[in-house]
């Protein structure tokens, strides 16, 4: 059976993963789980990450004993006194533990865009209510909204640095560089 294991794209991926114990005669599969990955990820790093998480779950006694081991445990695998959860796996036994996975779904990322008109509406609305109600902003002093050259609703003749009044230079996207 061939699984989709390609994690090296910029899509959001829904990934199903599980741990498998592969010692001959003691084979067992632990319950699967799902995670979401945004962006590119190397297969080896993903497996290392989930293997580490699995060992952390063992340390916190959160991994149930598989059905296959109810009658007999592999050497080097220790359970809690009630026999229901795994407490530790020694080094010789850990060589038989591996993590496998498959990508079950892919989704396009939505662009992060700030709707300038909507944000300007909120800024203008806040300023209106502050003026009408005589409110001041926390920290004293009113503070002011910065209108960036080229943004809708702003003064197209002013740059961010001119509007800000602090002498900071605008970047290519209109954000203000602090120079600190």
Q: Would you say residue 6 lies in a domain?
A: no
Tell whether 21 and 70 lie within a shared domain.
yes
Tell whether 138 and 83 lie within a shared domain.
no
Domain region containing 135: 116-164
Q: What are phi and psi of 160, to 5 degrees?
A: -60, -40
Q: Would you say residue 96 lies in a domain?
A: yes
Tell whether 102 and 157 lie within a shared domain.
no
Return left, alpha or beta for 61; rule: phi > 0 is left, psi -120 to 50 is alpha, else beta: left
Question: Both tokens of residue 18?
Answer: 């599980």
DSSP result, 127-173: HHHHHHHT---TTSS---PPPPTT-TTS-TT--HHHHH-S-PPB-TT
Q: Would you say residue 155 lies in a domain?
A: yes
Tell whether 140 and 76 lie within a shared domain.
no
What parts of the chain have a pLDDT lower than 50?
141-142, 145-151, 154-156, 158-161, 163-180
Tell me what pLDDT residue 51 has: 95
Question: Both tokens of residue 135?
Answer: 């409110």
Question: Both tokens of residue 152?
Answer: 């809708």
Please give the tally of structural domains in the chain. Answer: 2
Tell whether 51 and 77 lie within a shared domain.
yes
Q: Name the average pLDDT for the chain.
A: 79
Tens of pLDDT along 45-90?
999 999 999 999 999 999 999 999 999 999 999 999 999 999 999 9
pTM given for the model: 0.60
Tell whether 128 and 93 lie within a shared domain.
no
Tell whether 126 and 155 lie within a shared domain.
yes
Tell whether 63 and 102 lie within a shared domain.
yes
């Amino acid at each position: 059976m061939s699984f989709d294991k390609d994690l090296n794209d910029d899509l959001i991926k829904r990934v199903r993963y599980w741990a498998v114990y592969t010692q001959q005669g003691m084979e067992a599969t632990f319950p699967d789980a799902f995670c979401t990955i945004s962006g590119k990820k190397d297969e080896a790093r993903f497996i290392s990450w989930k293997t580490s998480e699995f060992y952390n779950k063992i340390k916190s006694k959160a991994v149930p004993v598989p059905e296959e081991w109810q009658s007999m445990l592999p050497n080097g695998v220790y359970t809690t006194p009630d026999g229901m959860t795994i407490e530790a796996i020694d080094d010789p036994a850990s060589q038989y533990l591996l993590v496998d996975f498959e990508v079950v779904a892919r989704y396009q990322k939505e662009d992060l865009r700030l709707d300038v008109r909507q944000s300007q509406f909120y800024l203008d609305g806040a300023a209106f209510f502050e003026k009408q109600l005589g409110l001041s902003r926390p920290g004293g002093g009113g503070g002011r909204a910065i209108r960036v050259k080229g943004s809708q609703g702003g003064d197209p003749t002013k740059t961010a640095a001119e509007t800000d009044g602090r002498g900071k230079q605008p970047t290519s996207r209109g954000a203000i560089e602090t120079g600190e």
